Structure 1
Amino acid sequence: MSTGWIVIGVLVVLVLFAFAAYNRLIALSQRVGQAFADIDVQLKQRHDLIPNLLETVKGYAAHERGTLDDVVKARNAAMSAQGPGQVAAAEGQLSGALGRLIALSEAYPDLKANANFQQLANELSDLENKIAASRRFFNNAVQEYNTGIQQMPAALFAGIFGFTRKDFFDLGADRSTVEQVPTVKF
């Protein structure tokens, strides 16, 4: 009789532990989702700022069509990207194109002195800093989640519950381009 109670006690402890592990993994997964949503909000603000910046530059640098077209193409690709991997790659391309666009101001003193351009460039610089902070928060959340599903004894239940590794917001080959926040000089 006492052996039966011991077995039942062990099973109850295992079930309670499975519930605790599941709830912890759910919380970590939700944190990753929330962190990616934060990045998405910042990126949307960036995408919304770009048309205004382009219109301002067009008036001063109309013959720089290639640079303007590159920014438009990169913005469209970034807006349609899905998931951390695709978004990171598309945003890397967009950051490079924006850097070239901002560099145009050096060649056009009137553009550089334009108050609207200055304001938009400052907003862009501020957004780039916010995106970098959001990206760090997201990668921290992914690291905690990935660690959580790999640590024993939760690792025994993670696969059963359908928890799989999540990807970091990795900049890959475009890392050096993105790490250089566009410099705004007036």
Structure 2
Amino acid sequence: MSKSTAYLILAVFIIMTLPFFFITIPIVIMMRNGLVKKRNQVDYAFSGVDVTLQKRGELIPNLVESVKQYMSHEQNTLKEIVELRNKLTNVKSDSSERFRLENDLSGLLKNLVVTVENYPELKSNENMLHLQRTLNEVEEQISASRRAYNASVNNLNNAIQTFPSNIIAVTNNFNIKPYFAAEESLKTAPNLKQLFN
């Protein structure tokens, strides 16, 4: 092979491989950056949920203390609420166990609010009314934060599971994130009939 033929083959090889470097590598970089941004958005959305859950956690002791004075035979519910709140401090923040405990706590708080309706003197107490309003606001904020979190998780999970970004996801250890999901018991409406007996 002559020197000119070797240069010609080298030139053809370079011309053939240049598109790979100028097209493929930027695409790979853009896909990886997109996955990182989606993962960061999930973390950001979860921090929003976490902040509102912490706000609710700080509100619970005040609520329990206000209710405790009036509801002596509802002590088991109050005790369960306090125990769940304490368990939540020891659970990994983005685990499915945390999501389950938060759902349990939501159910107990919902039952407590319904039970409070049976105590006219408690229901009309100014402090209790303020706590109920605040709890309702916090629950709405938690609901909105969970929706934002689930939307972010959906975007990330779609990117992790669809081609070609799934190849980048596997090679860079991106994992599917769990959704916040309501438990079946929380999907049923409270029995309001018992309030009017």
- Pair 1:118-2:136 in alignment: no
Partner residue in 2 for 1:22? 32
AA matched with 1:118 = L
More moved, 5-14 vs 47-56: 5-14
AA matched with 1:64 = E
Partner residue in 1 for 2:177? 166
- Pair 1:56-2:56 in alignment: no
| Partner Cα distance (2:74, 2:13) in 1 | 83
Partner residue in 1 for 2:5? none
Cα distance change, pair 175–66 in 1 and its aligned pair in 2 (3 A): closer
Partner residue in 2 for 1:85? 96
Q: Percent identity?
A: 32
Partner residue in 2 for 1:36? 46
1:68 Cα deviation (Å)?
1.2
**Cα displacement string for residues 78-118 of structure 1 (whole angstroms, at most 9, x for unaligned residues):** 33332241221001111121122222322211101100000
1:14 Cα deviation (Å)?
1.6
| Partner Cα distance (1:8, 1:175) in 2 | 58
AA matched with 2:129 = Q
Cα distance change, pair 103–95 in 1 and its aligned pair in 2 (3 A): same
Question: For the Cα contact (< 8 Å) 1:81–1:90, is it kept in 2?
Answer: no
| Partner Cα distance (1:174, 1:92) in 2 | 9
1:77 Cα deviation (Å)?
2.2
| Partner Cα distance (1:14, 1:94) in 2 | 49
More moved, 97-106 vs 29-38: 97-106
AA matched with 1:67 = T
Question: For the Cα contact (< 8 Å) 1:92–1:174, is it kept in 2?
Answer: no
Partner residue in 1 for 2:120? 109
Question: For the Cα contact (< 8 Å) 1:47–1:79, is it kept in 2?
Answer: no
| Pairwise CA RMSD | 1.9
Question: For the Cα contact (< 8 Å) 2:107–2:186, is it kept in 1?
Answer: no
| TM-score (normalizing by structure 1) | 0.89
**Cα displacement string for residues 151-176 of structure 1 (whole angstroms, at most 9, x for unaligned residues):** 22222211111112111112244441
More moved, 8-17 vs 90-99: 8-17
- Pair 1:135-2:126 in alignment: no
Question: For the Cα contact (< 8 Å) 1:74–1:97, is it kept in 2?
Answer: no
Contiguous gaps of at least 5 residues in structure 1: none
Of structures 1 and 2, the larger Rg is shown by 2
Cα distance change, pair 156–26 in 1 and its aligned pair in 2 (3 A): same
| Partner Cα distance (1:156, 1:119) in 2 | 52
| TM-score (normalizing by structure 2) | 0.84
Runs of 4+ off more than 6 Å: none
